[in-house]
Amino acid sequence: MSETTPSTPGADAEARVRVDRCVCKDISFAELLEMAQVLGPDIDLIALSTGAGIDCGTCRPWLERALAEGRDHFEIGPGDVADWETLAAHFARPD
């Protein structure tokens, strides 16, 4: 899993992307956290129950972290992770 680091000083706030769901299954981390309250924070059980994190796998490390930390989103920007451009393209929401 990619680790986040502090944002690059002066990075454009608009360049940040919100990682908050499994894009392939269109299910939010908030919904998955609610499910974890019933099923437990077992990533494999939640993935098998919902399909989240299985198709392309891009969200899986973030979903694992969301379950471990109880967070429903992460704000990621340039300099935070090595593969930011890939994440931005995957998680960007059309206006």
Count of domains for the chain: 1
For residue 6, pLDDT over 70 is answered with no
- Answer whether residue 14 is part of any domain: no
- Answer whether residue 32 is part of any domain: yes
- Answer whether residue 87 is part of any domain: yes
Q: Which residues pair with 27 in a beta bridge?
A: 22
pLDDT of residue 84: 85
Domain that holds residue 73: 21-91
- Answer whether residue 2 is part of any domain: no
- Answer whether residue 65 is part of any domain: yes
Q: How many residues does the chain have?
A: 95
Cα 35 to Cα 68: distance, rounded to the nearest angstrom: 14
What would the two tokens of residue 53 be?
Answer: 């994190």
- Answer whether residue 5 is part of any domain: no
Residue 6, SS3 per DSSP? coil
* Higher pLDDT among residues 4 and 80, named by residue: 80
- Answer whether residue 15 is part of any domain: no
Share above pLDDT 90 across residues of the chain, in percent, rounded to a whole number:
63
Which residues fall within 8 angstroms of residue 2, CB to CB, at 6 or more apart?
61, 81, 82, 83
What average pLDDT does range 65-71 have in this prediction? 95
Show the DSSP H helices in 4-83 as ranges: 29-39, 43-50, 60-69
- Answer whether residue 9 is part of any domain: no
State the angle between helix axes of 60-69 and 43-50 in degrees (0 to 180), rounded to the nearest 10: 120
Provide the pLDDT confidence category of residue 3 given band limits of 50, 70 and 90: very low
